[in-house]
Homo-oligomer: A and B are copies of this chain.
Amino acid sequence: MSTANPATTTGSRRMPEKRRAIARAASTVFGREGYTRASVDAIASEAGVSKRTIYNHFGDKEKLFLSVVLENAGELTEIIAGLADRHLHKIVDLEADLTAFAVDRAKAVLAAGEHYALGRTIRAEAGNIPPDVLAAWLAAGPLASQRDLADHLTRLASQDLLTLDDPDLAATHFTLLTFSGAADQSFYGAVPISDAALHTTVTTGVQAFLRLYPRP
């Protein structure tokens, strides 16, 4: 009955540690296996805790999933915002910078097996997720990122780097042209996409985007 864990402070004083370990493991396993295939035992094993600990912290499997999903959406949104800021804050070459941003964003979202592969699982389970939670996930994730991108595009337009009337629509078009195709090809990360294929998809997408919203 020894846990045989040398590194872990067996003392269970602070729960945030264990809770974070569980959340991390859950996002990994849910992202890899999907909701129904992911067993709580597997998550417990991955997290290095017992199953009961998970139930103590999260109540049941569904609540665990929903919690992790929302936390994850926020984290990924911040990562994407960081990428946008890095690539789009100061423009050197508009096409190159947009391309670099789109490639990095696609990799962040579609990176198979990573900690942010939950998007696939959420979409797969959309029909079984309470509408308010689904709305909250959309708001914290895709919609937040789209809004952030729209702000960047607005700024670029104000610098006469491109022409647009409706920033939200332009952001939507950018995502469709530079991301959705790659997401579709890779089944949202379930099947790996080669760097070459990703680059090709993004490059042609950015070119189309710039034909839609050209410099004035």
> Hey, which bits of chain A sit against chain B, CB under 8 A?
32, 34, 36-37, 120, 123-128, 131, 134, 142, 169, 172-173, 176-177, 180-181, 184, 187-188, 190-191, 204, 208, 211-212
The reply to whether B181 and A176 contact each other, CB–CB distance below 8 Å, is yes
The 8 closest A-B pairs by CB, nearest first: A124-B124, A126-B187, A127-B190, A36-B36, A126-B190, A180-B180, A176-B176, A176-B180
Main secondary structure on A side of the interface with B: helix
By a CB distance below 8 angstroms, the chain B residues around A123 are: 123-124, 187-188
Chain B nearest CB, measured from A27 CB (Å): 16
User: Which residue of chain B is the closest to A204 with respect to CB atoms?
Assistant: B169
| A176–B181 alpha-carbon span in the complex (Å) | 7
